[in-house]
Amino acid sequence: MVIRIIRKLRRTLFYLIVAGFCFFSASPFVWMLITMFKKDIDLYRTGNNPFLFNDPPTLDHIRFLFESTNYVSFLRNSLVVGILVVVITLVIAIPGAYSLARLTGRWGARAGIGIFLVYLIPPTLLFIPLSRVVVSLGLNNTLWALVVVYPTISIPFATWLLMGFFKTIPHDLVEAAMVDGYSRMVSFFKVVMPLSLSGIIAVTVFTFTLTLHEFIYALAFVSSSAQRTISVGVPTELIRGDVFFWQSLMASAALVALPVGIAYNFFLDRLVAGFTLGAVKG
């Protein structure tokens, strides 16, 4: 009897802990979702219970966001930058990773760690000199600045992650394809690439979300409103002085943050495998 009560108490405590963590993590998002549908009259009356809809919900502020602000441009800019950076990253990181995993032999492991360390250099250290590099390339204030600079973050990490993938593919497979008459290059495309598809998809997702997350370069290199990306456009352009369009602002954040967050979530384990330097198996 006592044991059963203790067991029940422990279970309750366990669920309370889980609930506490969930509440902490989700609260800003819940607050966004409630706010974005509220009428002004409901939102700005301090006596109202802020968690309830004291007046019926409205879509007006979401409509305002899409019709009267640069939000759609921010979305389009982020999409364009994201896709281009993904392409550049894959084209450079796939061969680089294969080379490090297989072809260059013993010093490959060291070069791999070296490349990974580049990922650890934060943009905060480099954004000032890079802002001049961008100007001298004639790319300041355009999305191209971001397209050129973002791969400096994504290539190191993508190379590192793919290297782990390529290492798991038996070298004999490539040799066998070469015996069958394919060149080394062709056997790479025919044998190695299809087997590493899940790794390539993971890298695509990370690179894309990385471009969505990035803040400092986007803030420092692009200053005209219509060219802003979503990460910078929302907190800088949609917050105008002291007048906050809170509902629109919350909608602008929630409409991007939640889908991206959920998609990213499915690939998280792979990201962690990359972070833990292969120290953890499985």
Cβ–Cβ < 8 Å for 89, 100: no
- What CA–CA distances, in Å, run from 159 to 4, 213, 268, 271? 53, 19, 17, 13
Taking CB under 8 A as the criterion, the residue among 77, 230, 245, 248 binding another protein is: 230
Q: Give the footprint of another protein on residues 158-217 (CB under 8 A).
A: 159, 178, 183-185, 209, 212-213, 215-216
Burial pattern 261-275, b for ≥16 Cβ within 10 A else e, equals eeebeebeebbebbe
Stretch that binds another protein, among 60-68, 79-87, 152-160, 192-200 (CB under 8 A): 152-160
- Does 64 participate in binding another protein (rule CB under 8 A)? no
Alpha-carbon gap, residue 24 to 14, rounded angstroms: 16
Stretch that binds another protein, among 65-73, 79-87, 127-135, 191-199 (CB under 8 A): 127-135
Length of the chain: 282
- What CA–CA distances, in Å, run from 139 to 79, 134, 267? 18, 5, 33
Nearer to another protein, 46 or 224 (CB): 46
- Does 93 participate in binding another protein (rule CB under 8 A)? yes
Nearer to another protein, 28 or 197 (CB): 28
- Does 44 participate in binding another protein (rule CB under 8 A)? yes
Report the nearest approach of another protein to the CB of residue 128 (Å). Answer: 4
DSSP designation for 225: G
